[in-house]
Amino acid sequence: MKTPIIIANWKLNGHKLLVEKFSKKIKNIEKNFFKENTIILSPPVIYIQKMKEKIKNKKIFFAAQNVDFNNKGAFTGEISSYMINEIGAKYVILGHSERRKNHNEDNLCIAKKFKSVKKNNLIPILCIGETEQEKKDGLTKNILKNQINQIFLKCGLNSFHKTCIAYEPVWAIGTGKNASPILINKIMKFIKKYIIYKSKNKNTKIYLQYGGSVSTKNIKSIIKSKYVNGVLVGSGSLDYKNFFKIIKISYKIKKNLLK
Ligand code: PGA
C-alpha cells in the first residue's frame, strides 16, 4: 500500500481555539496533498462536527476515540456507533491501552464494540499491544493473539477485512521510547500472517499502523518498514506543524521520494 494512513489521536486534549487553528491550517494546505494520504483526525468526539464543518475536505476523515457497544437505551454518558456515523466520522479507535487500563475494557468488551462499529458501517482501528512486563516475559505474541482471537470469536472469520490494526506496545505510548523499526516490522508481519491464517482467506486486507511515541525524528525509520501502512500519532499530533511534517515524510518515503 503506497498511501500512508496517518491518524491523529488527540486523546483528552484540545479546546475550541486549537480546533479553530488546526482546522484553518489544514484548510489552507493544497487540496491535492490529501488525495495522496489518508489522514484521520481523532479529536475528542464533541469537536468532530465542528472540525468537519471548518475543514470541508472530503479527503480528511474523522475517528471517534471510543464508542459504546449498545446502539441506544438507558446508558447514561455513552455514545453509540450509530451516532458517530451520523455526525460524519468514518472510523472508531478501539481497544486503546488507556481504555483497557483506565476503563477496565477487556477483550470481550472490545469485541462487542468492534461488532457494533462494523454493523454501523464504520471502520474499526483496533489497538493491540503488550505491556513492558509481558514483553520481558516473552509473551508478546500470545497477548496479541488473545486480543485478536476474541474479535474472530465474536465477529466471525471475515471480521478484519478492510479494517485497521494499530500495533501499540504499551511501553512505547507516551514514553518517548518508540519500538525499533526491526521489532515493528517483525510484529506487523506476525499480525498480518496470523490474521490471514485465522481468517482462512489470503485476500483479507488489513491496514497496519504503528503507534507509540511517533515523532518527526523517528517517523522516517518507522514508515520505511515494509509491513507498516501508517502511524497513529498521540502527543505529536497536537501541534499541526509536527503533524504535517510526519505526514509529509511518510508520503515521501512511501512514494520513494526520500531515502
Ligand atoms: P503517543 O500516543 O504518540 O503520545 O505515544 C500514541 C497513542 O496512544 O495512540
What's the mean pLDDT when you consider all of the chain? 94
CA distance 120 to 222: 32
Torsion of CA 162, 168, 174, 178, to 10 degrees: -110
**pLDDT tens readout for residues 70-116:** 999 999 999 999 999 999 999 999 999 999 999 999 999 999 999 99
Strand, coil or helix: 127: strand
Q: Which three cell numbers stand for residue 145?
A: 493473539
**pLDDT tens readout for residues 12-66:** 999 999 999 999 998 877 666 667 778 999 999 999 999 999 998 888 999 999 9
Testing ligand 1's pocket by substitution, the residue of 232, 243, 246 carrying the most ligand atoms inside 8 A of its CB is: 232
96 is catalytic: yes
Catalytic residue from among 20, 78, 96, 161: 96
Distance 167 CA to ligand 1 centre (A): 11
Instruction: Name the DSSP letter for residue 176.
Output: S
Residue 154 has pLDDT above 80, yes or no: yes
Q: Which three cell numbers stand for residue 162?
A: 478492510
Strand, coil or helix: 215: coil
Strand, coil or helix: 136: helix
The pLDDT, as a whole number, for residue 1 is: 53
Q: Where are the domains of the chain?
A: 5-257
161 is catalytic: no
The pLDDT, as a whole number, for residue 33 is: 67
Q: Could you tell me if the CB of 214 is within 6 A of ligand 1?
A: yes
CATH superfamily of this structure's domain 5-257 = Aldolase class I (3.20.20.70)
Q: Could you tell me if the CB of 235 is within 6 A of ligand 1?
A: yes
Minimal-distance CA residue to ligand 1 atom 2: 234
Residue with the bigger pLDDT between 4 and 216: it is 216
Distance of CA 63 to the CA centre of its chain: 8
